[in-house]
Amino acid sequence: MKIFNTLTRKKEEFVPITPGKVGIYVCGPTVYDFIHIGNARPMIVFDTLRRYLEYKGYEVNYVSNFTDVDDKIIARANKDNVAASYISEKYIEECKKDMEALNVRPATTHPQATKEIPDMIDMVQTLIDKGHAYEKNGTVYFRTRSFADYGKLSHKNIDDLEAGHRDEAHQLKVSGEDEKEDGLDFVLWKPKKEGEPSWTSPWSDGRPGWHLECSVMSKKYIGGTIDIHAGGEDLIFPHHENEIAQSEAANGTEFARYWMHNGFLRIANDNDEFEKMSKSLGNFKTVREICKMYDPVVVRFFMLSAQYRSPLNFSAKLIEASKNSLDRILTAADKLRDVIGKNNVAENVEDDAEALKELNTFVERFDAAMDDDLNTADAISVIFEMVKYSNTVCDKVSVDTAAKYYDVLSVLMNILGISIEKKEETLDADIEKLIEDRQEARKNKDFAKADEIRDKLLAMGIELKDTREGVKWKRL
């Protein structure tokens, strides 16, 4: 498999550190509110990466944190007059519910910053001991210029950054950070302000900086060098750049071998231009509200309709298009299920063999698309071709071949995190009754009444179809 590595800006063949095993760390959300569907993009994309690597036979250790101590959490807690931990615990639970709805599997470990403070203090001490960090009035800063490779991920030149910081000198004074040796230095540990959660440390009662938590938790749950580090592209600088500096300076080993960054989910503004969905712009939709409007499966399928590095525009029209596309696949699965139930024999043995050969080609092409830097857009196109072909041949092939098509479709869709199994849906008793009444009317040749009931059901969002196997219903 090839992965586009932000570090080298090239697609590189993926080779894990330990054969057969992969350690992935994905930066998770800061939990101060419901997550928005932009936050769901990395969750869905990298969950799909995990599923694909498992399909290829790797054992995956998937670690994704919750940032549960942060200015935004504290601000929200103060506003609601509750403890910060109340806010973070509440929104971790809500986030897990959203993930489940979107069929994002729980990580192997979901570490929380507040539960790993002793290890963070240890790493800060190591950095001080090695001359990469210093304390001033209870705050510990990372000495950025002490790390020669600073800027290697974001491809920024440290002197350009310095110039930028000089312009910000005034702001630094305002924020009280003028005590730093260098404008580029960043916080590893900061003292508490009145009313903030805090932990005892050799430097002050306070809390860790945001970047530090990922360096510490990835090391603890994966190791000093991790295979794949992932997150949204806004995290490249400064978050991931700072993680590298801290980890490599402290551990003396390479931090992460492959860096994967997803593009933004965008939404139209008042001028019909698409811009990043974000909390600060106020243009966000929560996963919770969107999943009330659309089946979460459709939302997941929509997220995978673009390759993960491309920007993806969100709109009702595009979600509708995804719904229709997914329906095509699910209808083909229904058809295969019907065919399998009929125990067909092949009309023509050669055509049957040909259909099996085609099936292998579809799988090869699906894998090739996914091997090309997780190109889910192309992989989905292959699935469309496969279901189109399946629709035309499934009546003519043997039941075994139809079953193989069904199984393969199921496996490929499961990699995308979507089940093709029929959901056992139950209808409300009054709807069941209407369907029975209509059958009765048809038996009595009272077609006017039968049509009337059919229209009534349609208005209730239930479409009936009379087939040779009997009456079937579908929710619209």
Partner interacting with residue 344 (select from Zn ion, ligand AMP, none; CB below 5-8 Å by kind): none
Partner interacting with residue 30 (select from Zn ion, ligand AMP, none; CB below 5-8 Å by kind): ligand AMP
Residue number with the smallest Cβ distance to ligand AMP:
232
SS3 assignment, position 466: strand
Distance CA 305, CA 377 (A): 5
- Which DSSP category does 196 fall into? -
Q: How far is the CB of 265 from Zn ion (least distance, A)?
A: 19
Task: Specify the residue, 306 or 416, whose C-beta has the smaller distance to ligand AMP.
Answer: 306
Torsion of CA 261, 267, 272, 274, to 10 degrees: -10
Q: How far is the CB of 98 from ligand AMP (least distance, A)?
A: 12
Stretch that binds Zn ion, among 6-14, 26-34, 216-224, 289-297 (CB under 5 A): 26-34
Position 27 contacts Zn ion (CB under 5 A): yes
Partner interacting with residue 214 (select from Zn ion, ligand AMP, none; CB below 5-8 Å by kind): Zn ion
Task: Specify the residue, 277 or 299, whose C-beta has the smaller distance to ligand AMP.
Answer: 277
SS3 assignment, position 187: strand
Task: Specify the residue, 203 or 264, whose C-beta has the smaller distance to ligand AMP.
Answer: 264
Within 8 A by CB and 6+ apart from 40, the residues are 98, 102, 104, 265, 287, 299, 303
Q: How far is the CB of 231 from ligand AMP (least distance, A)?
A: 4
Nearest to 207 by CA among 89, 131, 116, 83: 116
Stretch that binds Zn ion, among 19-27, 46-54, 163-171, 403-411 (CB under 5 A): 19-27
Distance CA 362, CA 352 (A): 15
User: C-alpha angle with apex 219: 225 to 143, nearest 5 degrees?
Assistant: 90
Position 287 contacts Zn ion (CB under 5 A): no
Position 256 contacts Zn ion (CB under 5 A): no
Distance CA 24, CA 123 (A): 21
Q: Which amino acid is at 327?
A: D
Measured CA to CA in angstroms, residue 120 lies from 92, 136, 169 at distances of 21, 18, 29
Task: Specify the residue, 234 or 358, whose C-beta has the smaller distance to Zn ion.
Answer: 234
Backbone angles phi, psi at 457, to 5 degrees: -65, -40
Task: Specify the residue, 95 or 128, whose C-beta has the smaller distance to ligand AMP.
Answer: 95
Partner interacting with residue 162 (select from ligand AMP, Zn ion, none; CB below 5-8 Å by kind): none
Task: Note the maximum CA span of the chain.
Answer: 91
Dihedral of CA 123/237/307/371: which sign? Answer: negative
Task: Specify the residue, 105 or 404, whose C-beta has the smaller distance to ligand AMP.
Answer: 105
Structure tokens at 108: 């192997």
Task: Specify the residue, 46 or 362, whose C-beta has the smaller distance to Zn ion.
Answer: 46
What are the residues binding ligand AMP (CB under 6 A)?
Answer: 27, 29-30, 38-39, 41-42, 231-232, 234-235, 262, 264-265, 276-278
Partner interacting with residue 262 (select from Zn ion, ligand AMP, none; CB below 5-8 Å by kind): ligand AMP
Partner interacting with residue 29 (select from ligand AMP, Zn ion, none; CB below 5-8 Å by kind): ligand AMP
Partner interacting with residue 209 (select from Zn ion, ligand AMP, none; CB below 5-8 Å by kind): none
Q: How far is the CB of 76 from ligand AMP (least distance, A)?
A: 13
Taking the CA of residue 128 as centre, how many other CA atoms within 13 Å lie in the half-sphere pointing to its CB? 17
Question: Which of 214, 333, 393, 434 is the binder for Zn ion (CB under 5 A)?
Answer: 214
Partner interacting with residue 48 (select from ligand AMP, Zn ion, none; CB below 5-8 Å by kind): none
Task: Specify the residue, 151 or 232, whose C-beta has the smaller distance to Zn ion.
Answer: 232
Partner interacting with residue 103 (select from ligand AMP, Zn ion, none; CB below 5-8 Å by kind): none
Q: Which amino acid is at 189?
A: W
CB 461 within 8 Å of CB 475: yes
Partner interacting with residue 417 (select from Zn ion, ligand AMP, none; CB below 5-8 Å by kind): none
- Which DSSP category does 132 fall into? S
Task: Specify the residue, 56 or 105, whose C-beta has the smaller distance to ligand AMP.
Answer: 105
Q: How far is the CB of 244 from Zn ion (least distance, A)?
A: 11
Distance CA 77, CA 72 (A): 9
Distance CA 349, CA 346 (A): 6
Distance CA 61, CA 225 (A): 13
Distance CA 332, CA 384 (A): 10
Structure tokens at 55: 């399909």
Q: How far is the CB of 235 from ligand AMP (least distance, A)?
A: 5
Q: How far is the CB of 224 from ligand AMP (least distance, A)?
A: 23
Q: How far is the CB of 225 from Zn ion (least distance, A)?
A: 16
Q: How far is the CB of 232 from ligand AMP (least distance, A)?
A: 2
SS3 assignment, position 465: strand
Q: How many positions of this chain bind Zn ion (CB under 5 A)?
A: 2
User: C-alpha angle with apex 86: 82 to 90, nearest 5 degrees?
Assistant: 130
Q: What residues make contact with Zn ion under the rule CB under 5 A?
A: 27, 214
